[in-house]
Amino acid sequence: MKIAILPGDGIGTEIVAQAERVLGCLDLEFETETAAVGGAAYEAHGHPLPEATLKLAKEADAVLFGAVGDWKYDKLERALRPEQAILGLRKNLGLFANFRPAICYEQLTHASSLKPELVAGLDILIIRELTGDIYFGQPRGRREAPDGAFKGAPEAFDTMRYSRPEIERIAHVAFRAARKRNRKVTSVDKANVLETFQFWKDVVTEVHAQYPDVELEHMYVDNAAMQLVKAPKKFDVLVTGNMFGDILSDEAAMLTGSIGMLPSASLNESGRGLYEPSHGSAPDIAGKDLANPLATILSVAMMLRFSLNQPEAADRIESAVRSVLAAGYRTADIWSDGCTKVGTRAMGDAVVAALSGTTAKTITKS
Ligand code: NAD
């Protein structure tokens, strides 16, 4: 089993280092190879997704990705910006299905900005289509407005589009996932305003005919954003397009206490995937030993389960994370009174200790 490790920028290198330590104490044999991506790759090779990095990602059984981006690259032309690396990997590896489970661990109900009773026991799954929609749609660009009240004025435009096969395959993924859970899918759209999402709604409804055992509801994205903070536990699986999923999954992160707790898996048709925390490179806290590595460590568990066929190892990691939280260890983003505040590395120490069956006394407090 070969794992491509792409730490990236900012906190990416710090959190991936802890995830690698966790991988290293599982008594499983992996070949790992690390490559530069994002701003780090631009600095070293002049491109955020060098050929060699893409080749490694294509050859590997799974990719463990940190995060890319930094404000200092904002003035670069778009094709050279770090964020193009993750878009390029998604497109080139055909990673169309993004799984973002939002689970509120019992010990973190007070870390959420919502009332504890709203999030206690929360376990929902957001499935975001990842290779279509307005993020990839062509044409896009800047031009002189060809018509309208401001005809002739400079304007910018993007294209929102989805084809039938793209919607069908993500709908199948959602219905199949719901069958392993509570058999309910909420398809999120904006069918009242957008032609693309009326089509989305029609196709999802057609696919649903093959899954009579799964309940389907349709919800407009503005209402879904509201319901996620009003009554999040009434959802089971949410399926939506690339842009709405991007926004709703960050909102869902706060239900779990912190975006530092939210892992993700991005899979292609053959089940190979890229695993990454749902957050970005957090330049504001990079290099300060403040980042929560748990989303990345939990992404490793998803990688073992979905791509490497090691479900027991995945279970071990998830229960190690639970026991570390139960022991009271918290990074700053999830800290509350009475808990032990630890840094990135010390949180990694705690998970490694839990996996090795030792107690947390090996932890270096920071
Ligand atoms: P971000 O997710 O990096 O940070 C948002 C906020 O959450 C910040 O306050 C940050 O400190 C905090 N945060 C994020 N991860 C955390 C963690 N593990 N522990 C504790 N706190 C954490 O989003 P942003 O600030 O909007 O973007 C920063 C850079 O990341 C930008 O360049 C953006 O383009 C990039 N980005 C990359 C990805 C990716 O690599 N997949 C995703 C989103 C954003």
Report if residue 251 sits inside a domain. no
Give me the pLDDT at residue 245, please.
96
Q: What angle (nearest 5°) sits at the alpha carbon of residue 47, between those of residues 45 and 53?
A: 75
Strand order through the sheet with 237-240 = 31-34, 2-8, 62-67, 273-277, 263-267, 97-103, 123-129, 237-240, 184-189, 215-220
Assess whether the C-beta atom of 83 lies below 6 angstroms from ligand 1.
yes
Give me the pLDDT at residue 250, please.
87
Residue 363, pLDDT > 80, answer no
Report if residue 45 sits inside a domain. yes
Report if residue 360 sits inside a domain. yes
190 flagged as catalytic: yes
CATH code for the domain in which residue 23 is found: 3.40.718.10
Q: Give me Rg for the CA atoms of the chain.
A: 21
163-221 pLDDT, tens digit each: 999 999 999 999 999 999 999 999 999 999 999 999 999 999 999 999 999 999 999 99
Give me the pLDDT at residue 263, please.
95
Which phi and psi (to 5°) does residue 255 adopt? -70, -30
Q: What sign results for the dihedral spanned by CA atoms 163, 166, 167, 172? A: positive
Residue 358, pLDDT > 80, answer no
Higher pLDDT, 357 or 335: 335
Range of the domain at 364: 1-98+264-366
DSSP label at 214? S
Tokens 């409804």 sit on residue:
205
Tell me which of 9, 70, 190, 275 is the catalytic residue. 190
Report if residue 323 sits inside a domain. yes
250-277 pLDDT, tens digit each: 898 888 888 899 999 999 998 899 999 9
Assess whether the C-beta atom of 334 lies below 6 angstroms from ligand 1.
no
Assess whether the C-beta atom of 9 lies below 6 angstroms from ligand 1.
no
Report the mean per-residue pLDDT for the chain: 94
Report if residue 248 sits inside a domain. no
Number of domains in the chain: 1
In sequence order, which residues have a C-beta less than 8 Å from that of residue 28 and are 6 or more positions away? 1, 310, 313
Residue 362, pLDDT > 50, answer no
246 flagged as catalytic: yes
CA pair distance 328, 203, nearest whole angstrom? 47
Provide the 3-class DSSP secondary structure of residue 344. helix
Report if residue 152 sits inside a domain. no
Which phi and psi (to 5°) does residue 325 adopt? -70, -40
Are the beta carbons of 342 and 9 closer than 8 angstroms? Answer: no
How buried is 251 (Cβ within 10 angstroms: 0-12 exposed, 13-18 middle, 19+ buried)?
middle
Strand partners, 330: 341
Residue 67 alpha carbon to ligand 1 centre in Å: 8
Report if residue 180 sits inside a domain. no
- Specify the residue with its C-alpha closest to ligand 1, atom 43: 280
24-43 pLDDT, tens digit each: 999 898 899 999 999 999 99
Report if residue 270 sits inside a domain. yes
Residue 249 alpha carbon to ligand 1 centre in Å: 13
CA pair distance 286, 170, nearest whole angstrom? 35
pTM given for the model = 0.89
Strand 184-189 to 329-330 pairing: unpaired
Assess whether the C-beta atom of 69 lies below 6 angstroms from ligand 1.
yes
Assess whether the C-beta atom of 282 lies below 6 angstroms from ligand 1.
yes
284 flagged as catalytic: no
Assess whether the C-beta atom of 259 lies below 6 angstroms from ligand 1.
yes
Tell me which of 73, 135, 162, 275 is the catalytic residue. 135
